[in-house]
Structure 1
Amino acid sequence: MPDWSYQTIFRPLLFRLPSRVARNVTLKAMRRVSRLPGGTLLIKTLGHMEPSPLLETSIANVPAATPVGLSGSVDPNGIAHRALAQFGFGFMEIGPVTIKPVGGGKPIHNDTKGELLSYPDEYENEGLMHVQERFAEPDHRLPRFFRVSPMPAARTDEAVDQLRMLMLALRSNNATGFHVDILDSQGGIALNVRLLERMCAMIHRLRLDDDFRDPALLRIPLDYPPEEVSFLLSQADLSVWAGFVVGEALPQQETDRAVEIGRSGKPYALSLVRQLKASALPHQSIVAGAGVHEPQDALDLLAAGASHVLLGSGLVYAGPGLPKRINEAIIYETIKAEPAPESPSFWRHWGWMRLLGLGMIVGGILAWAIAASSVVLPYDEHFLAMSRDELSRLNEHLLHFMSHDRITLAGTMISIGILYSRLAKYGLKDGQHWARTAVFISGAVGFPSFFLYLGYGFFDPLHALAAIVLFPMFLLAMRRNPDQPFRRPVNLRNDPTWKRAMWGQLCFVALGASLAVGGLVIATVGVTQVFVPQDLTFMETTRETLRAANPNLIPLIAHDRAGFGGALFSDAVMLLAVSLWGIRQGERWLWWTLLAGGAPAFVAGLSVHYGIAYTDFVHLLPAYFAAALYVIGLILLYPYMMQNPRPESAYTYERPVSRGK
């Protein structure tokens, strides 16, 4: 469920359910998809979330594909880790994990306006034994950090012993490292000093006696008083720890272990991150994630000194595209000061695709002109052994019907040409992987469709010539085309403009999918039964009558239908790819491309039907539906794609007020 479907359809529905039910439904659905053959590929394809090499980092000296991790609060039981691993994360947190089960069953409250989740017990989990069973075999390649916690109210020695048992037991579960949750923000400084001293001594013994080399990061409660953090760090042996993890939960004052996780935690996290950055050793990682609900939140924490961020409640409110959006923001911040690479020459690769697009536009215009005048070409008349006038006398609607097929094909050709030409200039030229993939898929399905008509025994020399001329251009455009990072500012806020754009993107995704289905149906009809009932009603004839009049007539019409279906499918899959991967804030060129690319196809299809009085409502209903999606999608996307992302300061720091601790 990408953001364009989550924000528009799934989130409103899920938020009407009890929170636990909504979470289970979502995670189990993702799990089922990921377990299907090709399921993980489908998830990757919908979001195009493969991390860039520019994001590669390390957390506690463990390689990670990105600095964005998944908090254990999202999927505490590991139901959908296989699916979530495809979202663009670099590592995963699992937990909390305690020796015995803790809590469970009470409602989780969802404050949608405040973007705040209230959990009845911060340490709720199924216990060590169940965690070991669930995570016995890894179902993804991401590093796994277990958040280990002592049982609530455990005494100092018990707490340290329990953590030792947890860390040794979970080593066999392919643990990459541990987030050690031993500090108690409500326990007082003396208690926490003792806990930390005992924990440091225990880890030293583990490394000496058990050859324990797994990195351990100390978890700092989000509401820990800053003056106590400073004192605690001054007393601790920092060399024991590979880094620090800033908690994401704030305690609810009226209950013992109930906590709030959400947007309100961000200022607390910023404060702790800055304090930890001042005390941490150079090699130590600082992981924080409280209140990361949009890309700017992550940038703020990173600018404050965090090396990595964890996504928890933000994934619930912003949607599954949040990791990708944060990754894109980090890439832009990383490379924005670097000089852009030299633009490739016209003839290196992208220019050939631009020429191919221009060729399709010219060919479509010529085909439209012919279809609107003589309709048939000399080789058509030769194949039928009939002249244009004889065809007109055979059935007064026949030429109109053939013209309607050929004009719709011409409009689709122009549409394809515009998309190819524009994606070449603004996508392929800049080394954008999504643009190259879009035109590659379109060409891969489009060129073979030129020859669908051969099954009926009709060879179209003009189509064959076009394929011979254009196909080498396609191959030349696909060569020596390395990927380059996106170098323009990206969206950082979940503002109303972005949310409306998700509806616009949904319209275009639905349009691309609908046209793809329509293209397949038309192509299938073209190579099988050729006509739908409305066609024969319009021409006031039957299939048998046409076959009896000229046995070559149906193959000629089938060639038009199959060619149009193939071209429409090629156009649709490219539009679908553009809609899935290319929609970004401030990309004016793409909005104009969508406008210009769709207009010829819709004008051709609707104008010719009304021009020849073929206005059967059922026949035109798919076209009306597609046109509505097209217009509404453009309107909703206009503010987002025409407006540049707002420049943001590195971060805004404001010390949170005390919660009475």
Structure 2
Amino acid sequence: MLYPLIRKFFFALDAETAHGIGMSGVSFLNATGFAGCLAKPVTPCPVEAMGLKFPNPVGLAAGLDKNGDHIDALARLGFGFIEIGTVTPKPQDGNPRPRLFRIPEAQGIINRMGFNNAGVDRLLENVRMAKFPKEGGILGINIGKNATTPIEHAADDYLICLNKVYNDASYVTVNISSPNTKNLRELQKDEALDDLLAQLKARQEVLADKHGRYVPLALKIAPDLDDQQIAAIADALRRHRMDGVIATNTTLSRDGVEGLPNADEAGGLSGAPVFRKSTDVLKKLATALAGELPIIGVGGIMGGEDAAEKVRAGASLVQFYSGFIYRGPDLVREVADTLAYVMKKKV
């Protein structure tokens, strides 16, 4: 009952300003012991995926906490796992503001943030100060390339980030699907993807020997893929023995928001309008992979039934971001409760 009142206040502000204030507020409530005002206990629903044991299958998608400034506060809301980033080797400002736009009539968000972040070293400082990973919490770190790095040298940036975050991450996500970094999605194409995954997997093997622990690698893909591209990506994931795949990122489509305020803004569309598109890609990917590696379903989860549909389509875990903005912490509990019931029925 509290969050709709809070949301009304925040939605009267510029979206990015509201985001910053809201995240600081969550951390303040956690620090003062009042985080329980926002969140209630969630139903346990242990899931094993990527060689990791998740206390429940409900995750926070990358983008909400780019620099890992709020890990412990977000973990208190009941998430089974937290993913931070996207982080790049060097700090960068991202695209000019304004770059974040709500479409409340459709429960959508458009962003063209452009991987704004304080750089991988700053993120690691925050991770090492957080209690959540030290207490066994599952923390994903999402890595990308700097905007100034030519696309033909993109692998260098991913390898720099992988080297640095490897020993502090529960798993690492390779983000090649943001629409807001020029030419980034070119890395999803056959030869470029093969080359990138081969280099990352080779480095993962070296790092596993060096640190004495195996950290899974997941690939995050776009929803704007045709059937042939989905099949090719599934083949590459199998061939390179990737540990997981996240389906999907934001879409360039404007289906479902035509004519609404902010709908013509450039950037990736998330929230309810991307649900069907992302779930269709997930389902086709699951068919192509035939259970050979787990899928994390993301895109348009606004309630428990949306998450259940992702699981029925083939997801082992789910994540959300925009739904959290519209629904608040209650969404964590609702999705966890629903998936606990759905997964119990599947057993």
Q: TM over 0.5: same fold?
A: yes
Equivalent pair of 1:31/1:80 in contact (CA under 8 Å)? yes
Give the direction of change, closer, same or farther, for the CA distance of 1:72–1:182 in structure 2 (3 Å limit). Answer: closer
Which secondary structure does the structure 2 equivalent of 1:210 belong to?
A: helix
- Whole-angstrom distance in 2 between the partners of 1:32 and 1:136: 19
Give the direction of change, closer, same or farther, for the CA distance of 1:238–1:94 in structure 2 (3 Å limit). Answer: farther
Give yes or no for the alignment of 1:150 onto 2:140: no
Equivalent pair of 2:271/2:299 in contact (CA under 8 Å)? yes
Whichever structure has more helix as a proportion of its residues is 1
Give yes or no for the alignment of 1:106 onto 2:97: yes
Query: Offset of 1:205 from its aligned partner?
Result: 2.3
Query: Offset of 1:170 from its aligned partner?
Result: 1.0
Counterpart residue number, 1:199? 196
Equivalent pair of 2:138/2:170 in contact (CA under 8 Å)? yes
Among 21, 28, 35, which residue is 1:25 paired with? Answer: 21
Q: What residue ranges of structure 2 are gaps of 5+ in the alignment? A: 255-262
Equivalent pair of 1:122/1:258 in contact (CA under 8 Å)? no
Counterpart residue number, 2:258? none
- Whole-angstrom distance in 2 between the partners of 1:191 and 1:65: 31
Which secondary structure does the structure 2 equivalent of 1:144 belong to?
A: strand
Equivalent pair of 2:59/2:319 in contact (CA under 8 Å)? yes
AA in 2 matched with 1:205: A
- Whole-angstrom distance in 2 between the partners of 1:257 and 1:214: 35
Equivalent pair of 1:288/1:308 in contact (CA under 8 Å)? yes
- Whole-angstrom distance in 1 between the partners of 2:23 and 2:205: 41
Counterpart residue number, 1:12? 8
Q: Deviations over 1:505-561 (max 9, x none)?
A: xxxxxxxxxxxxxxxxxxxxxxxxxxxxxxxxxxxxxxxxxxxxxxxxxxxxxxxxx
Report the TM-score, using the length of structure 2 for normalisation: 0.84
Q: Deviations over 1:160-207 (max 9, x none)?
A: 1211110111124x2111111235887787972122211232134224
AA in 2 matched with 1:60: M
AA in 1 matched with 2:6: F
Equivalent pair of 1:96/1:148 in contact (CA under 8 Å)? yes
Q: How does 1:558-577 map to 2 (within 5 A)?
A: none
Query: Offset of 1:75 from its aligned partner?
Result: 2.4
Among 312, 320, 338, which residue is 2:321 paired with? Answer: 312
Which secondary structure does the structure 2 equivalent of 1:317 belong to?
A: helix
Query: Offset of 1:283 from its aligned partner?
Result: 4.8
Counterpart residue number, 2:275? 266
Query: Offset of 1:328 from its aligned partner?
Result: 1.1
Counterpart residue number, 1:166? 161
Among 176, 180, 205, which residue is 1:182 paired with? Answer: 176
Q: Deviations over 1:82-127 (max 9, x none)?
A: 1211222111111111122241551221111111112123423222
Larger relative contact order (CA 8 Å, sep ≥ 6):
2
Which secondary structure does the structure 1 equivalent of 2:323 belong to?
A: helix
- Whole-angstrom distance in 2 between the partners of 1:220 and 1:190: 10
- Whole-angstrom distance in 2 between the partners of 1:240 and 1:156: 24
Give the direction of change, closer, same or farther, for the CA distance of 1:133–1:47 in structure 2 (3 Å limit). Answer: closer
Equivalent pair of 2:42/2:337 in contact (CA under 8 Å)? no
AA in 2 matched with 1:303: R
Among 40, 65, 69, which residue is 1:48 paired with? Answer: 40
Which secondary structure does the structure 2 equivalent of 1:135 belong to?
A: helix
Give the direction of change, closer, same or farther, for the CA distance of 1:271–1:152 in structure 2 (3 Å limit). Answer: farther
Among 39, 54, 61, which residue is 1:64 paired with? Answer: 54
Whichever structure has more strand as a proportion of its residues is 2
Query: Offset of 1:320 from its aligned partner?
Result: 1.0
Counterpart residue number, 1:247? 248
Q: What residue ranges of structure 1 are gaps of 5+ in the alignment? A: 339-661
Rg larger in structure: 1
Give the direction of change, closer, same or farther, for the CA distance of 1:183–1:28 in structure 2 (3 Å limit). Answer: closer
Q: How does 1:363-374 map to 2 (within 5 A)?
A: none
Counterpart residue number, 1:411? none
AA in 2 matched with 1:180: V
- Whole-angstrom distance in 1 between the partners of 2:198 and 2:231: 20
Counterpart residue number, 1:289? 298
State the 4+ residue runs in structure 1 displaced beyond 6 angstroms: 184-191, 252-257
Counterpart residue number, 1:225? 226
Among 202, 205, 210, which residue is 2:207 paired with? Answer: 210
Among 118, 130, 134, which residue is 2:122 paired with? Answer: 130
Among 307, 325, 332, which residue is 1:323 paired with? Answer: 332
Q: How does 1:392-411 map to 2 (within 5 A)?
A: none
AA in 1 matched with 2:8: P
Give the direction of change, closer, same or farther, for the CA distance of 1:184–1:12 in structure 2 (3 Å limit). Answer: closer
Counterpart residue number, 1:492? none
- Whole-angstrom distance in 2 between the partners of 1:16 and 1:192: 41
Give yes or no for the alignment of 1:75 onto 2:65: yes
The count of corresponding residues between Structure 1 and Structure 2 is: 327
AA in 2 matched with 1:169: K
Give yes or no for the alignment of 1:302 onto 2:311: yes
Q: Deviations over 1:484-524 (max 9, x none)?
A: xxxxxxxxxxxxxxxxxxxxxxxxxxxxxxxxxxxxxxxxx
Which secondary structure does the structure 2 equivalent of 1:126 belong to?
A: coil
Query: Offset of 1:261 from its aligned partner?
Result: 1.6
RMSD: 2.8
Give the direction of change, closer, same or farther, for the CA distance of 1:163–1:257 in structure 2 (3 Å limit). Answer: farther
- Whole-angstrom distance in 1 between the partners of 2:187 and 2:249: 24
Equivalent pair of 2:39/2:78 in contact (CA under 8 Å)? no
- Whole-angstrom distance in 2 between the partners of 1:177 and 1:191: 20
Query: Offset of 1:6 from its aligned partner?
Result: 0.6
